[in-house]
């Protein structure tokens, strides 16, 4: 009986460990471009040149480094199993109009959480949103209005433009759950604390489109989910 009791206790401990947080892994990977890295074109600055042309700009809708890593690819789990919502961070997500471009070009924010839209240029800008699910708006942001705060309740991919400066484009990714990643300058991304299981991943890029892949996340550790976009 004593041995049976020990076996039962051991089973309870192992089960408790599994339930208590060791059943989540992470997804890591690198997104590459199959062809030669395209050379970004120079942006033609047609207005407010004293501010906007202070630093030369290149067209940044497709940024590929020498190792063919693609920047600004949004990678998300399309079918999370736990129903977990993305929580608002301690500091609001921020989109800054600085140098007559949106910084960062792609921002991930929690659905329903405040997003600060800054005007660091000291000139007239405006925020024109092109959502799929949320209500669109087009609001002027003059130089004295340094910050506007907006919320977007529905998960969405929202294109942002400035009607004053036609070359300005950015994207706000409104996330309904926390299992999102954004590729850096080298094309690398990471999604953490994903419950173990098999999922579908979406790879979204503003110019290269959306592709999907399957991935199985282990109970601990990481799984690699590299991806390559075909050349255009």
The answer to whether 189 and 76 are in contact (CB under 8 A) is no
pTM exceeds 0.75, yes or no: yes
- β-pairing, 114-119 vs 147-151, is antiparallel
Looking at residue 187, its pLDDT comes to 98
d(CA 124, CA 140): 7
Q: Where are the domains of the chain?
A: 25-229
Looking at residue 20, its pLDDT comes to 42
The answer to whether 88 and 74 are in contact (CB under 8 A) is no
- β-pairing, 169-175 vs 106-110, is parallel
Name the nearest CA neighbour of 77 among 183, 173, 200, 182: 200
CA atoms within 13 A on the CB side of 220: 6
Q: What tokens appear for 201 in the block?
A: 């991943």
- CATH homologous superfamily for 25-229? Cupredoxins -  blue copper proteins (2.60.40.420)
Q: Would you write out the chain's pLDDT as a tens digit for each of its 232 residues? A: 444 333 332 333 233 333 344 488 999 999 999 999 888 899 999 999 999 999 889 999 999 999 999 999 999 999 998 989 888 888 999 999 999 999 999 999 999 999 999 999 999 999 999 999 999 999 999 999 999 999 999 999 999 999 999 999 999 999 999 999 999 999 999 999 999 999 999 999 999 999 999 999 999 899 999 999 999 8
- β-pairing, 74-77 vs 197-205, is antiparallel
The per-residue b/e assignment along 96-119, b for 16 or more CB within 10 angstroms, e otherwise, is bbebbbbebbbbbbbbbbebbbbb
């Amino acid at each position: 009986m004593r041995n049976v009791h020990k076996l039962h206790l051991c089973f309870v401990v192992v089960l408790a460990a599994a339930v208590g947080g060791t059943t989540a892994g992470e997804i890591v990977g690198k997104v590459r471009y199959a062809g030669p890295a395209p050379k970004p074109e120079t942006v033609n600055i047609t207005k407010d040149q004293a501010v906007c042309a202070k630093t030369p700009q290149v067209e940044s809708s497709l940024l590929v480094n020498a190792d063919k890593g693609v920047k600004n690819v949004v990678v998300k789990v399309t079918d999370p199993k736990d129903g977990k919502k993305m929580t608002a961070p301690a500091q609001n997500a921020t989109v800054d109009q600085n140098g007559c471009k949106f910084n960062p070009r792609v921002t991930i924010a929690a659905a329903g959480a405040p997003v600060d839209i800054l005007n660091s240029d000291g000139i007239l800008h405006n925020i024109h949103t092109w959502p799929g699910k949320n209500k669109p708006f087009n609001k002027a942001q003059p130089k004295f209005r340094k910050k506007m705060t907006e919320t977007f309740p529905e998960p969405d991919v929202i294109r942002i433009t400035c009607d004053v400066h036609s070359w300005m484009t950015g994207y706000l990714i409104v996330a309904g759950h926390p299992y999102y990643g954004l590729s850096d300058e080298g094309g690398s991304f990471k999604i953490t604390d994903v419950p173990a299981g098999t999922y579908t991943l979406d790879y979204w890029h503003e110019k290269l489109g959306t592709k999907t892949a399957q991935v199985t996340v282990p109970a601990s550790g990481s799984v690699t989910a590299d991806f390559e976009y075909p050349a255009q």
